[in-house]
Each structure stands twice: as structure tokens, then as C-alpha cells.
Structure 1
């Protein structure tokens, strides 16, 4: 089961609003430029036409600046999206590294992943189509292999890795928690 974050964010709404404003400004700019050239041909260059021409130039400059801002905003959103995808990939690799170190079976890996996602034993049993007792036994085996006492400690292993300084996680990969003696 894969949980997804909502796609509508404040930045996406801002980008969409900015795009709509750009379209409206572009339509207004086209109208004004046509009006200026029509008036220029009809009346010649006077103070009114000069004022309309300056307003039209300012409109085109605003349009250009808004287009640059939209492009920069989309670039920032793409960068953030790449970062989130990289973090997800890193987290998946980190989890897989711990699971390999602990030598979890395929069934234990699936149960451990569901535990990390926050599901309780009843829900996990329902997803997997097995008895709750089976999930309890697999959970106990996971905790023993990981050297932890329960869900909270299992979860804390991964939280510590997420919050660790980048240099610490790059050196040796997942090392697992300290084992109690």
C-alpha cells in the first residue's frame, strides 16, 4: 500500500494563478497594442496616444517579468520534487540496508515495512491475509533481529538516520542500533 502526498500545494496554486494572470495580461497587451496602432494611424502622436503607448510598454515589461517569475517558480518546484524523490529513494535504500543487515525474511520485511508505515497488527494481518498471532510472532522476530524492544524503538532507528548529519550516513551505510548486552 503506497501513501501519496497531496499534489496541490501552495506553490502549485501560486504558479497556476500566475499563469492565469500572464494569459490575462497577454490578452490585455494585445488589445492595447492594437488600440495604440489604430489610434496612432487615426490621430497621430499626441499626449493621449503617448500615454497609452507607455502603459502598453509597461504592460509588456510586466508580462515578461511575470513569465520569468513563473519559470523560476516552476524550476524551484521541480528542484523540490527531485529532492523529495531522492529522499524517498535514499530512505528505501536505507531501510533495505537495515533489513539486509538484520537478515529479515521476505515476510518479515513486508511486516516491518508495514510497521514503519504505522499500521497495527490487526491491519497488517488483514493486508497479508494471515492471523494476528502470525503477525505478532513475525514482529517479535523482527524486534529481536533488530535488537529493539518494540515498534517505537524500531521506528526511532530510522528517525535517527533521517535526522543524522549527512556525513555520518555517507561514511559506512546503515550500521543498525547498538545491541543491548
Structure 2
């Protein structure tokens, strides 16, 4: 992301303003000799430096507010997408006629759990989970966990106006050429 030129210039002004105050403090503390200037000019420089720093604080506050607003909008979008995904899951599970046990296995599979992890969570054997997975794939018209997940991703992309792979469940998987 490119930084806008005004922000970079404001940052440079803030550094220069801070430098004015640090120089003034160093001259006073270390007793260094500086070229004499009138007290009016000295005050004007300090007022200018203070205004520059204050301007930096105000712009930083506005940018922080914008950033927080963007974060809140992104979190809201994520929450909506999460809710949409749950809705898509339920609709697909209903369409396929999955049993409650198959719904659990399908959900755990989509979350990426292994067959042994699913079996442990459901307190069943791995063979039972494998049989339920095969039944899910058959009802969904797919042959693997990856294809099952892609059905849901395609649905979400279509719901958000993004191009998906329409009719993915009915298509044959691509054949590998020798």
C-alpha cells in the first residue's frame, strides 16, 4: 500500500519539529553556544514546532479512527460471511438428505479434521467415520474432501458476486493425461 505524499510530508515536519525542541534542550543542558537570535524569532520557531506536532497528533488521530472503522467493517464482513457459510452448509446438508451423524462428519471434514480425530470426537471407529464420509461424498456427488469443500466455496463466491464453478457437483473431475 502506497503512503500518500501529504502523510509523508507531515511525518517529516513532525521529525523536524521534534528536532527543534531536542536541539533547544541539548543547547540548554550541555551549555553549548548557539548563534544568538532574537527572542521573538526563537518563540516563533517554538510555536511553529508545537503547531507542527499538534497537527501531527490530529492527523494521526483521524487516521487511527479511519483504521478502526476499516477494521470494524472487515470484522462485520467476516461475521456475515461466517453466517452465510453456516447457512450454505445447512442448505446443502438438507438438499443431500444427510443424517445427523453424517452432518457432524461432514462439518468436521470441512473443518479439516482427520478421520481419526473425527472418530475420537464422535466416539466411534474410524471405519464408521470412513463409511459415513463415503455416504456424504456419494450424496453430494463428489469423490473427495477437497471437492466437498469446493462446493461450499463456489456457493459463497456466487453469493458474493464472484465467479465460481457452476455445476461443480455434476461435473466429472479432470482426468490426468499420461
Correspondences of 1:40-79 after superposition (within 5 Å): 46-79=40-73
**Structure 1, unaligned runs of 5 or more:** 1-24, 33-44, 170-174
- Partners of 1:124 and 1:102 lie apart in 2 by 21
Deviations 1:131-162 (A, max 9, x none): 11111121122112112222232122122223
Once the two structures are overlaid, the 10-residue window that deviates more, 92-101 or 150-159, is 150-159
Q: Which residue of 2 aligns with 1:89?
A: 83
Contact 2:84/2:156 (<8 A) preserved? no
Shift, 1:168, TM fit? 8.2
**Pair 1:178-2:170 in alignment:** yes
**Pair 1:113-2:107 in alignment:** yes
Contact 1:102/1:145 (<8 A) preserved? yes
Shift, 1:177, TM fit? 2.6
- Partners of 2:58 and 2:162 lie apart in 1 by 45
Contact 2:137/2:143 (<8 A) preserved? yes
Give the TM-score normalised by the residue count of structure 2.
0.67
Larger relative contact order, structure 1 or 2 (CA cutoff 8 Å, min sep 6): 1
**Pair 1:100-2:87 in alignment:** no
Q: What do you get for the CA RMSD once the two structures are aligned?
A: 2.9
- Partners of 1:143 and 1:51 lie apart in 2 by 75
- Partners of 2:162 and 2:53 lie apart in 1 by 52
Give the TM-score normalised by the residue count of structure 1.
0.66
Distance 1:137 1:54, change over 3 A: same
Shift, 1:167, TM fit? 4.7
